[in-house]
Amino acid sequence: MEPTGGHDDDHGRGGRAGGRRRPSPAVYRRRRLAVTVLVLLAVIALIIGAIALAGALGRGSDASAGGSPTQDTTAAPASEGPVGATGPATAAPTTATPSAGPTASPAQSASAQPSASPDGVCDPDDVVVEAGTDRPSYGPDDTVLLYLVVRNEGDTACTANVGTSQMEFLVTSGDERVFSSIDCQQASQDLERSIEPGADQRAEFEWPRNRSMPGCTAVEEEPGAGPYTVTTKLGLRSSSPVDFTLQ
């Protein structure tokens, strides 16, 4: 007979192999708890990431839309000197060589300052406006040169507007208005000058012996020989009339 011991050994090994213990319920609970914790951590991480992304996007949107509008403050350049008007019946006050152009620049006396200063504006009571001519009588071929003089008779230096926007040369004959330098003036300019006490500013004007009317209406008739009067104005200040004669 075959010995039965071998069967018993096999049976014992098989029983141990097939009879391994299954994990206890406590182990399963711990495993489920660990998985649950990991899932919760993952969800929390996703939520925090979403909040951070939303905040970054919001800041970027605010930065792109938060700039304040700017305004262009560049000013157009101004002309250097006073500019008179072009017109068929007039010239403009000038100290330069006579020309058909309308540029003007009041002459300054040696004691007057060349440009505006921080001094106060001249008191009208201290400003004296005078008219003048370079001769009392003019022949048929002579150039009629008229003057406008602005004098500061105050005690301190002050500034006055001596630009073409303020000045006028008016020629009359008796009660007849013959010519005005502003009749054909299409443009003008301010010119602030500082004038020392007792000093003056002077502008010259070559009258081309023509007539003019407001609005620059053409007048064909020319002034004839006889007595005339020139009056100059600067703003609200007027000079006394000065007589001269055309031969």
Domains of the chain: 107-242 (2.60.40.10)
* Range in 1-5, 85-89, 93-97 with the lowest mean pLDDT: 85-89
pLDDT at 47: 80
* Range in 32-36, 85-89, 173-177 with the lowest mean pLDDT: 85-89
Does the pTM of the predicted model rise above 0.75? no
Write out the H or E segment, with its range, that includes residue 11: helix 5-18
Alpha-carbon distance 24 to 29, whole Å?
A: 9
In contact, 192 and 112? CB cutoff 8 Å: no
Got the DSSP string for 48-70? HHHHHHHHHHHHHHHHHH-PPP-
pLDDT tens digit string along 182-217? Answer: 999 888 899 999 999 999 999 999 999 999 999 999
pLDDT at 41: 83
pLDDT band at 31 (very low <50, low <70, confident <90, very high): confident
